[in-house]
Every structure is written in C-alpha cells, then in structure tokens.
Amino acid sequence: MPPTDSTAVAGQPAIRFENVVKKFGDHVVLDDLNFDVQRGERVTLIGPSGSGKTTILRLVMTLEHLTGGYVFVDGEPLTHMEVNGRRVERRPKDVARTTQKIGMVFQQFNLFPNMSVLENITEAPVHVLGRSQDQARTRGLELLDQVGLADKADEHPTRLSGGQQQRVAIARALAMDPEILLLDEVTSALDPELVGEVLGVLRDVAKSTDITMLIVTHEMQFAQDVSHRVLMFDGGSIVEEASPDVMFTAPEHERTRAFLQAVL
C-alpha cells in the first residue's frame, strides 16, 4: 500500500513511479508506469518524440497532474496519497515542501530578462529558502564560477549566448541545493557549437556531486558518459533498461536497436 502523508521512509528511492497514468483527453501518454530512481543515481530516458519522457519530468516537477497512480520523493507522496483505501490529493503546502527538493533545467532557459544574471540565481534562495542576500550572493558567485561565468554576474541574460544562458539556468537550479535535478533536453534549443559547453558543465556536476539526476536527452554520448542506467521509452512504456555500456552497444529489444540506429 502506498505510504501515507506522514511517512518519509529511510532507504526509499529518491523517486518512485507507482502505477502512474497520464492522459491528455483521451490520449494516453503514460500507461501504468513503474520505475525507481535511487538516491545519487543518474538515470537517462531516451526514445522517440512523444514517448512520454518530458511528461515524466513535468509530473515530478508538478507542472502536470497525475491521471492515476502515485509519485513518491524520498518515500513521501508527491501530489497524491492513499487514505483509508482512497486516493486523495495532498495539501498544496505539503506538495510545495516536497518539491523544494527538486530542481529542473528546461529546454528554454526561462531566465528573467529584467534581472541580472546574479539576481536570477539569488531570487529563489532568498524568497523561497529564506536565505539572506549575502548568503545567496556568495553562493551565487560560487556557482557562476563553477559554470564558467564568474565575469557575467552583472550582465542581463539577453546579452548572453544561448549556451551561457543555459549555464546560468543550471547555476540557478543548483542554487536551491536540490537533492534531485531534472534535465529536460537542455541542449535542444542551442546552436550545435554551444552544446559542448553546457554538457561539459553537467558532466562536472555529475562527477563532483551526489545529486540524483533524471535526464531526458537526445545527446547519446552524454547519456553514455554520465548515466548509471538508461531507460528506452516508446508509447509511454519502458521498452528496455540497461547500463549505458549495454544499452549503446548490445541492446536486446528490436525497437531500441532501430531507435539507436536512427539517432547515432
């Protein structure tokens, strides 16, 4: 039985999908989806467009609503729980508390154009986490240095390249000290020559932290480099899952082989 609202269980996975269903109207995007992401694990979702990958991230971020089933974060229900055999919604303040553990970097950078780069990074830590301006500024400058943009703190996002804006977006997500980082096709809006700089930053984050990552990407080399596990999706279901070494060299399923042949 799914845990109730008061149980955040030690040893539980960072993210658990349990019998998850997502429909848009009559269109079933995810059908009885079950999988776990362990703490500190980096899991990449691959598959054709429309297979439900981004929807999974948006459900974890509560940008989409579950049609059925449950999502858990650290053993705690995210948006729905079971009470006396009934599936009920959690209170918004409880959902907000849980989602504070989660950061997301989107395809589009979604930076505030009227704020400086540093202000973009410090806004949420001050207003959501209650940090002082000095604390947030110190941490923000550290993160800008980490993503190679220490000299851009006072610039406005519109004066940066797409790759630089995406690196600011990564720093902004990390400024909230998330336990879980969701990455949604973070290079798809970039010119090809800018892709490498963004993926380089994310490789460094993967190597230097124990943040749990759930990644959607069409960059197969990046998936191979950073993932502990790769899941192949098609039609809203998991077709195959394996380590990157196996997935990219000896996939078992014909659908996986066809997809990889098309994209590699």
Instruction: Report the half-sphere exposure of 88 (CA within 13 A, side-chain side).
Output: 10
Whether pLDDT at 264 is above 90 = no
pLDDT band, residue 86 (cuts 50/70/90): very high
Give the mean model confidence (pLDDT) for residues 46-59: 94
Confidence of residue 9 (pLDDT cuts 50, 70, 90): low
* Pairing of β 15-24 and β 68-73: antiparallel
Task: Answer whether residue 4 shows pLDDT above 90.
Answer: no
* pLDDT at residue 170 in the model: 96
Distance of CA 168 to the CA centre of its chain: 16
pLDDT 10s digits, 98-157: 999 999 999 888 899 999 999 999 999 999 999 999 999 999 999 999 999 999 999 999
d(CA 64, CA 66): 7
pTM here?
0.92
Lowest-confidence pick of 1-5, 98-102, 165-169, 218-222: 1-5
Q: Count the alpha carbons within 13 Å of 89 in the hemisphere toward its beta carbon.
A: 9
Write down the pLDDT at residue 187. Answer: 92
Q: Do the beta carbons of residue 36 and residue 16 sit within 8 Å?
A: yes
CB 29 within 8 A of CB 22: yes
Q: Residue 236: is its pLDDT beyond 50?
A: yes
Residues facing 33 on adjacent strands = 20
Length of the chain: 264
- Percent of the chain residues topping a pLDDT of 70: 96
Q: How far apart are CA 188 and CA 53, in angstroms?
A: 14
Q: What is the model's pLDDT at position 10?
A: 63
69: pLDDT strictly greater than 50: yes
With a cut of 50, say whether residue 177 has pLDDT above it. Answer: yes
Percentage, residues of the chain above pLDDT 90: 88
- Average pLDDT on 22-39 reads 95
How far apart CA 228 and CA 215 sit, in angstroms, is 11
Is the pLDDT at 81 greater than 70, yes or no?
Answer: yes
Mean per-residue pLDDT for 161-166? 94
